[in-house]
Amino acid sequence: MSALIDFRKRCTAWLLATGILLLLGSCAEPPSELQRIREEGVLRVLTRNSPSTYFQDRNGATGFEYELAKRFAEHLGVELKVETADSLDDLFTRLNRPGGPHLAAAGLVANDSRRALVRFTHPYLDVTTQVIYRHGQRRPTQPEDLVGKRILVLKGSHHAEQLAALKARLPGINYEESDAVEVVDLLGLVDEGRIDITLVESNELAMNQVYFSNVRTAFDLSEANSLAWVLPQGEDDSLLREANAFLDEARENGTLQRLRERYYGHVDVLGYVGAYAFARHLQERLPRYERIFKETARQHGLDWRLLAAIGYQESHWQPEATSKTGVRGLMMLTLRTAKAMGVSNRLDPVQSIQGGGKYFLKVHGALPAGIEEPDRTWFALAAYNVGAGHLEDARRLAEAEGLNPNKWLDVKQMLPRLSQKQWYSKTRYGYARGGEPVHFVANIRRYYDILTWVTQPQMEGSRLVHSDLHLPGISEQDVADNLPPL
């Protein structure tokens, strides 16, 4: 009898223990959002389709926000899935919808009113709100000058909030908001005189101003604003903490600086007349040689737009161009280079373009193996301009200064030293006009950016396609008088 009682006690104890374990198991915390992302293997990011954020060119996805988000996904060890929003209202609605994107990376200003709706990461870029007007009109210099103007901004934008605050102080300021436009459209409307004023952030203007010859900055409406990623409201801050840690590390290890340099470090090199001239030449000259650029690029595995950008920097697509130093033709080949590349007539645009493409490929392939893209392309352009020997001297100077000899951002700081005796006297190849390749690369990068944007598939039918560019306001002679010497 006592044995039966002991057995029942043991069974009761076992059942009680099992019940407690099951209860504890059922009360275990669910996985955090960061854990779920890693388990699913996908980071879903919402953005906008614009040159300063994300767009598709013929080589695939690109843009500052895309590149930064891609690095974050790689940091998490997951795949990046990009979605685009039709408007800012759509972006915030989708972000806060259950099962929506994990975060938005869309060039969004972190302000107090939005913090009531979403959570912001640490900032990654400082920008300034700028008031934009049309060249030829009286320039506004203060908010009071906006009274009576036709003003249009993005619906739901930080700029609409700024104008609302101004209107409370200056009731004569009237403005409209639209969710049917993007920044490019707003700048186009100002350029065409269909509106008087719009507001954009300084980085967006820098990326787009070259397409609009009549767009000007009136004044800065604010001090620096901070751009940040946006996450939905919620108590789970695991993804937010990880994003902040990633952005802090990206700032410390130079990733943010390199991305800023890549996308914004060369956007202001053309100036007004240079931008206007390039837009005109896109329309009038490029069609004559576009087929040759494409065929040559295909033969050598190059991007034809990069080859075309080199040709424009060298000669403004003029096949009979000749410099004071004796280089000639559309790609401005030296006699020695032309001979080495099998070019018998440097003034023949077909031979010149083919020779230039072949030479660039040779220079690109001869660089040290440790230089990776996109830096490898910028190094090849510099070597194309100043010679591989002088470039190697600059790389050695960079290494001596504790900089990275395989990063263009570091080496371009050293190249101007090649014209200073205290530095070039220590190098193997001696004096060089080291500032020239820095400008050479910056210009080509800007021309390439423009060609990439205006030839992307989704721009077909847009006013940005080069055959439809609208370029009023300055004469051909004005352009000719201000073109840089060859």
Number of neighbouring beta carbons within 10 Å of residue 39? 10
β-partners of residue 44 are 81
Q: Map tokens 């990011």 to a residue.
A: 45
Pairing of strands 215-232, 118-120: antiparallel
Distance CA 411, CA 337 (A): 25
Please count the CA atoms within 13 angstroms of the CA of 42 that sit on its side-chain side: 9
Distance CA 390, CA 100 (A): 53
| Structural contact between residues 82 and 67, judged by C-beta atoms closer than 8 angstroms | no
Distance CA 341, CA 14 (A): 87
**CA-to-CA separations, 426 to 23, 300, 386, in angstroms, rounded:** 76, 37, 18
- What is the separation of C-alpha 336 from the centre of its chain, rounded to a whole number of angstroms? 37
**CA-to-CA separations, 446 to 208, 268, 356, in angstroms, rounded:** 11, 8, 19
Asked if 314 is an active-site residue, the reply is: yes
Phi-psi region of 99 (alpha: psi -120 to 50; beta: other; left: phi over 0): left
Catalytic-labelled residue, pool 314, 372, 399, 460: 314
Indicate which residues carry an active-site annotation.
314
